[in-house]
Amino acid sequence: MYIGLLLSVSFGCDQTYIDEIQSVDPGPDTSAPVVNVNFPLQGTLIRVVEDVTSIDINFEATDDIELKETVLRLDGNEIARFNEFRDFRRFLKTYTYENLTNGSHTLQVTATDLSGKSTTKSVVFEKVEPYRPVYDGEIFYLPFDGDYTELVSIRAAAVSGAPGFVDGVSGKAYAGAANAFLTFPSAGLLGSQFSAVFWYKVNASPDRAGILTIGPPDPARPNAMNNRTAGFRLFRENAGGKQRFKLNVGNGSADNWFDGGAAADIDPASGTWAHIAFTISNSQVTVYINGQVVSQGNFPGISWNGCDIITIASGAPRFTEWGHLSTQSLMDELRLFNKALSQAEIQAIIDAEKP
């Protein structure tokens, strides 16, 4: 009995009982390769501060039988060729091209299979020429031309809510919405002198709103912040059916108000763009509407203590106690400066941009 069992095991392990590996005919090669370009996509805009940069080209080529080679061309010139594949039916690759220059570019990815069939996928994209500040002291420029990218440092805003775009003074403009606003880090924007200029078309609803805010946290009122000892708060409020623009600036221990009264009123019924500007120096603050002084006063100097973000189109999150939340007005061509602009400099900006 035991002898029979051993013989059975012995015969079961004999080499003649192991199936040999045999090649399987994959069948006819009926299809051309399939090519997908994952980046850049058609219409992609590359924005960086350099005139020449690198780009990571991500693509995939597949074939029903076997790939022979894949070739990348940029503007008609071959930049890379691949003919060794770990998986002969699928090639997924990120290739870094180091010398992308300004302007429009056409990328072509061509995959060829063993039978000679090939497929080419093309995408057109653009490396946008870096923005060069136009005005002395300009450190921030947000044109709202279809995105929320600040062009001096190439930073994208953190977007809250669902703002939109409409036709503006130049190109597109920011269209405010309920609970919508933008924020940026304030690093690199804060100094002893500061100016902001922009175009604004007033929507009277809601009847009060924040416009531009750089303020510190308020630990005493975390759900209704209103710490006005540092930074500034530019906002608007109803004034007999018009909208009155006011500026509050913190000096480190208290705050100073710059309220021009009726001189700082804009009638929403006019439906026109108004140019808003304000300047802060070590000794004075001035508010302008359409190039004219509407409020001005002595000032001991601004404190930026705790002011780590800038909010655009709302008082939130740092100036909310009095209900100055998101504006539903339009805003365009926002520029910030590290100097106190003169009235003549402000007028020059208006003349260059006015619709």
Residue 292 lies in a domain: yes
Return the pLDDT at 355.
84
Whether residues 233 and 275 share a domain: the answer is: yes
Whether residues 72 and 212 share a domain: the answer is: no
Whether residues 111 and 188 share a domain: the answer is: no
Whether residues 186 and 78 share a domain: the answer is: no
CA 117 from chain centre, in angstroms, equals 41
Return the pLDDT at 10.
43
Say yes or no to pLDDT of 246 above 60: yes
Range of the domain at 64: 34-127
Residue 348 lies in a domain: yes
Say yes or no to pLDDT of 26 above 90: no
Whether residues 62 and 147 share a domain: the answer is: no
- CATH number of the domain residue 71 falls in: 2.60.40.10
Higher pLDDT, 5 or 243: 243
For residue 254 the two structure tokens come to: 């208290």
Say yes or no to pLDDT of 320 above 90: yes
Residues 161/166/168/173 CA torsion (nearest 10 deg)? 20
Return the pLDDT at 11.
42
Confidence band of 28 (pLDDT split at 50, 70, 90): confident
Say yes or no to pLDDT of 313 above 90: yes
Whether residues 184 and 260 share a domain: the answer is: yes
d(CA 279, CA 235): 15
Return the pLDDT at 130.
95
List Cα–Cα distances, 73 to 104, 113, 317, in angstroms: 14, 18, 48
Whether residues 321 and 264 share a domain: the answer is: yes
If one counts every other C-beta atom within 10 angstroms of the C-beta of residue 60, the result is: 17
The last residue of a domain, from among 65, 96, 127:
127
- The pairing of strands 265-266 and 53-62 is unpaired
Residue 49 lies in a domain: yes
Q: Is 9 left (phi over 0), alpha (psi -120 to 50) or beta?
A: alpha
Residue 167 lies in a domain: yes
d(CA 73, CA 111): 12
If one counts every other C-beta atom within 10 angstroms of the C-beta of residue 181, the result is: 26
Q: Is 10 left (phi over 0), alpha (psi -120 to 50) or beta?
A: alpha
Global pTM reads 0.81
As for how many domains the chain has, the answer is 2
Mean pLDDT over 217-240 rounds to 97
Residue 13 lies in a domain: no
Whether residues 219 and 93 share a domain: the answer is: no
d(CA 244, CA 226): 20
Mean pLDDT over 126-153 rounds to 96
Residue 24 lies in a domain: no
Residue 119 lies in a domain: yes
Whether residues 118 and 60 share a domain: the answer is: yes
> For 230, which DSSP code?
S
The last residue of a domain, from among 127, 161, 177:
127
- 26-30, 39-43, 51-55, 240-244: range with lowest mean pLDDT: 26-30
Confidence band of 12 (pLDDT split at 50, 70, 90): very low
Q: What is the pLDDT of residues 90-135, one digit of tens each?
A: 999 999 999 999 999 999 999 999 999 999 999 999 999 999 999 9
- CATH number of the domain residue 169 falls in: 2.60.120.200
For residue 268 the two structure tokens come to: 């929403």
Q: What is the pLDDT of residues 162-210, one digit of tens each?
A: 999 999 999 999 999 999 999 999 999 999 999 999 999 999 999 999 9
Whether residues 206 and 108 share a domain: the answer is: no
Amino acid at 215: G
Whether residues 142 and 114 share a domain: the answer is: no
d(CA 19, CA 337): 79
Residue 17 lies in a domain: no
Mean pLDDT over 287-299 rounds to 98
Amino acid at 240: G
Where b means 16+ CB within 10 Å and e means fewer, 23-43 reads: eeeeeeeeebbebebeebeee
Mean pLDDT rounded to a whole number for the chain? 93
d(CA 67, CA 34): 10
The last residue of a domain, from among 108, 127, 146:
127
Return the pLDDT at 134.
96
Whether residues 166 and 311 share a domain: the answer is: yes
User: In the β-sheet with 34-39, what is the strand arrangement from edge to edge?
Assistant: 34-39, 53-62, 90-100
